[in-house]
Amino acid sequence: MQVPAPFEYERATSVDHALQLLVQLGPESRILAGGYSLLPMMKLRLATPKWLIDIDDLADELGYVEEDGEAIRIGAMTRHRDLLESPLLARLAPIFRDAELEIADPVVRNRGTIGGALCQADPSEDLSAVCTAVDAEIVVRSLEGDRILHMEDFYRGPYQTAVAPEEIVVEIRVPTRAALGSAYEKINRRVGDWAVAAAGAALTIEDGAITDAGIALVAVGAEVSSAVAREALIGQEPTEEVFEEAAAAGAAACNPITDQRGSAEYKRHAVGVLAARAMGRAAERLGAEVAP
């Protein structure tokens, strides 16, 4: 039976209270939100915090999806279910809904949070790839104030982020652009499982050409963002040939491993197919006619 190591428990009543507890209890304390990322690690003794600071009561303070004219603002305690059901995200960033339809099961989606998922930094996790593709910013707070990190700075590698021991992720900001289309594609062994491979794409198309792109490849190496695929897209027309060539370049540059989910060769092939498919759907959502 998998049982966590002994720990003490505190329940925060506000963000400021949680920050005070982090300082008071020191670096061996961890934030507990939905628990679906941290608790499995604790059961395997891969995480052994001496203190858990429960922020579940902060859903009213940190659970929201809003638009302020420049960005979609998502509170870190926003549940997967709320991301799935958000009409704002469905309209402006449908890649979130695509991914949420593939995440776990209703039990996990009702409890798990976007902040917890991002802080887990699992290379097979879906929302990290989504936020990378759409060039999201992460707002991190301490008692000294806020700092804003791009995903490339927030994500330090598998299971590592730039969040300091005395900080909490409080918000995710997704830039809003009128000409942005996005999509997410994933394959797994069974519904709701971790990805065998997945890909997210966010494209800006103006005057018939791709002017900006974000491509994220999942479960195929430590790097999520694919600069190679992005470079192959900029300035090109949105055609199947362009998407297939960009996806192939990204797949060739990734570094998957062979494990119980599949061979490295299979994952590299799969992520190339998924990336091209995601690019095509992202373009079509902008009304672009994707020529062969």
Residue 72 pairs with which residues in a beta bridge? 67, 174
Domains 8-55 and 62-175 belong to one CATH topology? no
Question: Which helix (H) or strand (E) covers residue 187, if one does?
Answer: strand 180-188
Which residue matches tokens 């297939």? 244
Considering the domain 180-285 in this protein, what is its CATH number? 3.30.390.50
Residue 107: partners with Cβ closer than 8 Å, 6 or more residues away: none
Q: Are 199 and 271 in contact (CB under 8 A)?
A: yes
The pLDDT assigned to 7 comes to: 96
Which class is 62-175 in CATH?
alpha beta
Q: What is the pTM of this model?
A: 0.94
Q: Are strands 51-54 and 8-11 parallel, antiparallel or unpaired?
A: parallel
The pLDDT assigned to 291 comes to: 76
Q: Which letter, b or e, does each residue of 270-280 get, where b requires 16 or more Cβ atoms within 10 Å of its Cβ?
A: bbbbbbbbbbb
The pair of three-digit structure tokens given for residue 56, joined into one six-digit string: 């579940």
Could you read off the pLDDT tens digit of each residue along the chain, which spans 292 residues? 589 999 999 999 999 999 999 999 999 999 999 888 888 889 999 899 999 999 999 999 999 999 998 999 999 999 999 999 999 999 999 999 999 999 877 888 888 999 999 999 988 899 999 999 999 999 999 999 999 999 999 999 889 999 999 999 999 999 998 779 999 999 998 777 789 999 999 999 999 999 999 999 999 998 899 999 999 999 999 999 999 999 999 999 999 999 999 999 999 999 999 999 999 999 999 988 887 7
DSSP 50: S
DSSP 193: P
Considering the domain 8-55 in this protein, what is its CATH number? 3.30.43.10
Radius of gyration of the chain (CA): 19
User: Quick one: CA torsion of 183, 170, 121, 165, rounded to 10 degrees?
Assistant: 170
Q: Any idea where the domains of the chain sit in the sequence?
A: 8-55, 62-175, 180-285
From CA 249, how far away is CA 122, in angstroms rounded? 23
Three-state SS at 154: helix
From CA 238, how far away is CA 121, in angstroms rounded? 31
